[in-house]
Structure 1
């Protein structure tokens, strides 16, 4: 039996693909930055927050330029081999572009750049999967800081809790030594 034409998924989003022109614009702007700036650095990041990065980028806006995006597009703009590199030896930079990485173009001296990157540190709330920086101990008894909806989550994390008249209650269990 033929497939029904009625049972087709219909996309409701109106987004358009960026296309070849967008990638060519990135390649051209990176090549222009190669001509405008003396130094190029590859930086890597982990759990980067967009707002914090914007603040850092704004601080260095007058002396430098950042590029984030597809590693392959950035590699193509630098040149992947000796044959297609834009400047002599710059294809070595494209070999380092792996994972979460970006390009930083600047006219600042190396010591100043290292100082800026080492000095800039912003604290923010932890995301899922990040390791705890502090040890928290919860006493036995009612835990007013948690709502009743948090009880299943706390239990899943291995905490000996129960609901007592709508209040999360931490209790001592004979099996606590097994929880670690």
Structure 2
């Protein structure tokens, strides 16, 4: 009788070894890129979404290398003290690696980089627990999908789902309809899972993925310059995807 796959034992020592090797590979990759590029930027992310981060990677793949990995590993690769730093001045950048941050290695000039990231914004749907950035109310009448162009009413077969999410709808000519306005959420208050689902269904995007540059290291001089501008607020920092995991390496 063949052995059950469910009964297969996994050696924890093998898992640990793989993790250690993976971290060592990341350390080496970060250091190799520190040797290769003119600048290393430290950035932080608001309303983290893997899909949007991959968009940034793709747009910069020919002129930069991006790492969005575990902070402790990236900091160790750069070196957090004068004695341990991989190259002159990198410890000043490494000591700032905290929270959801990443590294961008590039030869592109500072003005080009700052202008590009200042302009890059990707609206997205909020998740349960996110703070509502504005009050949203569905007016009385047919419930419309605001993301369609032009807006379209919901079909009759979605009426049960709308009711399940808290709307007191009635079908009028086969269209889910409200007799009175319904407030979905209130600005400044955390969203429930039902509220987040409703906002997504009607097409209301309440968070914005963006990348804020924090500091820049110059390989020629070893200096680290702090970037002035709007950083990521605590609210933006907590608007990450549920179950978001760090991506260890970038292509």
Does the TM-score normalized on the shorter chain lie above 0.5? yes
Which one has the bigger strand percentage? Answer: 2
Q: Take 1:172 and 1:120, find their aligned partners in 2: how far apart are those partners?
A: 39
Residues 11-61 of structure 1 show CA distances to partners (whole Å, capped at 9, x for unaligned) of: 899xx7341110000000000000001111111112222222222212211
2:160 maps to 148
Question: Which residue of 2 is the match for residue 120 of structure 1?
Answer: 120
Q: What does residue 54 of structure 1 align with?
A: 54
Unaligned runs of 5+ in 2: 1-6, 144-152, 187-251
Under a length normalisation based on structure 2, what TM-score does the superposition of the two structures give? 0.53
Alpha-carbon separation, structure 1, partners of 2:25 and 2:46: 27
Rg comparison, structure with higher value: 1
Find the aligned partners of 1:57 and 1:25 in 2 and give their Cα distance. Answer: 20
For the 8 Å contact 1:151–1:168, the answer to whether it is kept is: no
Normalised by the size of structure 1, how large is the TM-score?
Answer: 0.71
Aligned-partner Cα distance in 1 for 2:140–2:88:
65
Alignment: residue pair count? 160
Query: Contact 1:63–1:106 (CA<8 Å) still a contact in 2?
Result: yes
Over the aligned positions, Cα root-mean-square deviation in angstroms equals 3.5
Please say which of residues 129-138 and 34-43 is displaced more in the overlay: 129-138
Unpaired segments ≥5 residues, structure 1:
1-9, 156-160
Q: Which has the higher contact order (CA 8 A, sep 6+)?
A: 2
Report runs of 4+ in structure 1 exceeding 4 Å deviation.
10-13, 132-135, 162-165
Specify the SS of the correspondent of 1:42. strand
- More deviation in 91-100 or 21-30? 91-100
